[in-house]
């Protein structure tokens, strides 16, 4: 599914360039343009799902794949000391692009609570 007004759908379609650090048949990963850590990638499913709140039971394999992709990317980036995986959901959750995506943040110590 593609949403023609969605920023991430435009990146997926190649209409907007992105430095793809990872890509497979289900998702892509690219650096966040507003990084919150020395290493900050977005992992975006190729299927347009507006948010985590809109994910359904049939999305379970894809959701698991996104987390596995984050772990693989973290290994490739040598984030051996640790990293954080975040899914912002909805406006109050800090989601600014309404296409489900996973943030991979690392390269510094993370604080808790995050925000």
User: CA separation (Å) from 37 to 25, 95, 108?
Assistant: 27, 17, 7
Tell me whether residue 101 is one of the annotated catalytic residues: yes
Structure tokens at 108: 């510094």
State how far the Cα of 80 lies from the Cα of 78, in Å rounded to an integer: 5
User: How many residues are given for the chain?
Assistant: 115
The answer to whether 29 and 102 are in contact (CB under 8 A) is no
Question: Which residue in the list 40, 98, 99, 101 is annotated as catalytic?
Answer: 101
The answer to whether 76 and 41 are in contact (CB under 8 A) is no
Please identify every residue annotated as catalytic: 101
């Amino acid at each position: 599914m593609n949403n023609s007004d969605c920023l991430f759908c435009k990146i997926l379609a190649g209409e907007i360039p992105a430095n793809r650090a990872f890509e497979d048949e289900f998702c892509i990963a690219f650096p966040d343009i507003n990084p919150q850590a020395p290493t900050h990638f977005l992992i975006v499913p190729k299927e347009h799902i507006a948010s985590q709140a809109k994910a359904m039971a049939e999305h379970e394999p894809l959701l698991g794949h996104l987390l596995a992709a984050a772990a693989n990317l973290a290994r490739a980036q040598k984030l051996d000391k640790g990293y954080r995986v975040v899914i912002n959901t909805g406006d109050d959750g800090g989601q600014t692009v309404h296409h489900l995506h996973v943030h991979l943040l690392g390269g510094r110590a993370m604080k808790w609570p995050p925000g």
